[in-house]
Amino acid sequence: MANQSAQTRQYRPILGVMQPPDDILADDSLPHRTYWCSSGLVRLVISLGRLTQYHSLVIPGTHASYVESIGEMLLDGVPSEHISAALSVSHRVVCEATGNQVLGQILFEHGNSGDRSISRYGTHIAHMHSLCIANHNDFSHAIRQSLVEDKSWVRVSGWRELSDLARDEIEYCFIQLSPKEAWCREVTSHDNLPKQYLRRLVYYCLQETGHALLPSNWLWRSAGDMQDAVSEATTLRRLSSDDSIVHATRR
């Protein structure tokens, strides 16, 4: 897999059925929800079905439309500095947009690098979620309890480690609560995880700790918040207009 280009990689089987992915890069609203791009390799967009205000996605450029996880982006040669830059820009501009609050950044991704199990329910293009929330220790505590109780989750060093899973063609769920605390679990067809498992887990912990953006919910397709997403992207685009790869700090 490592020597396949993003342009030539074929769609992967979803429980034995070949079908094209739900291509976020083909969404007509994408230009309006985009607020930053790094050399066409990585872009930041406001998510539909926002779980928090300025809920962002880190996604590949259009030339990498068949890359299905951040791990694969790294494996296919996207420099980690570009992803790091995107995460730093997103955190900075959201802090500015919310009145220079001190916000914690939460990252999560359900990434696929092998045959699919539950990925058929969601978008099959690489997209790491970035949530910036105030006083996020209570959220971190709530979700940490869920991960520890699950016993399938293990501590990892951070998102850069995801390329190792992609190299081994492992489907995974990943959550980073801080630059010093990240968790990951492998996903197989035997797990029988529910629809939108990871998004649902994050949403309920946000709701439990008073961070969820109501009336948003974990069902992003029915959220109906396109206008708000475009408005938020407009705000962040203005704040990120002077950013470039060299200005971002390592995260």
Better-scored residue on pLDDT, 26 or 55: 55
Nearest 5 degrees, angle CA 86-CA 171-CA 167?
A: 75
The token pair at 159 is 């998102």
Tokens of 7: 């342009």
Q: Which segment of 126-140, 181-195, 206-220 scores lowest on mean pLDDT?
A: 206-220
**Which residue in 81, 4, 119 sits closest to 244, CA to CA?**
81
How far apart CA 46 and CA 175 sit, in angstroms, is: 19
Instruction: Find, among 56, 60, 57, the residue nearest to 94 by Cα.
Output: 56
Give pTM, 2 decimals: 0.84
Q: Measuring CA to CA, how many Å separate 71 from each of 150, 219, 227?
A: 23, 25, 31
Q: Predicted confidence band at 64 (pLDDT cuts at 50, 70, 90)?
A: low
> For 168-186, how does the pLDDT look when each residue is reduced to its tens digit (9 = 90+)?
989 999 999 999 999 999 9
Average pLDDT over residues 192-219: 85
Domain residue spans in the chain? 13-247
Token pair for residue 135? 């006083």
- Show the CA angle centred on residue 68, arms to residues 75 and 167, nearest 5°: 35
Q: With left for phi above 0 and alpha for psi between -120 and 50, is residue 96 left, alpha or beta? A: alpha
Q: Which tens digits make up the pLDDT trace of 37-59?
A: 988 889 999 999 999 999 999 99
Residue 70 confidence (pLDDT) above 80? yes
- Encoded tokens for 243: 């950013």
* The predicted structure's pLDDT at residue 238: 95
Asked, as a colleague might, if the bond just before 215 is cis with ω within 30 of 0, I would say yes
Question: For residue 110, what are the β-bridge partners?
Answer: 173
Query: Who's near 141: CB < 8 A, 6+ residues apart?
Result: none
More confident residue, 35 or 7: 35
Percent of the chain residues past pLDDT 90, beyond the cut: 54
Q: Name the residue with tokens 């699919």.
A: 116
Task: Please indicate whether residue 246 or residue 157 has the higher confidence score (pLDDT).
Answer: 157
Please give the Cα distance from 203 to 50 (Å, whole number): 10
Within a 13 Å sphere around the CA of 208, how many CA atoms are in the beta-carbon half? 15
**Angle at CA 159, nearest 5°, toward 248 and 57?**
65
Taking the mean position of all CA atoms in its chain, how far away is CA 160?
Answer: 13
φ, ψ for residue 104 (rounded to 5)?
-90, 145
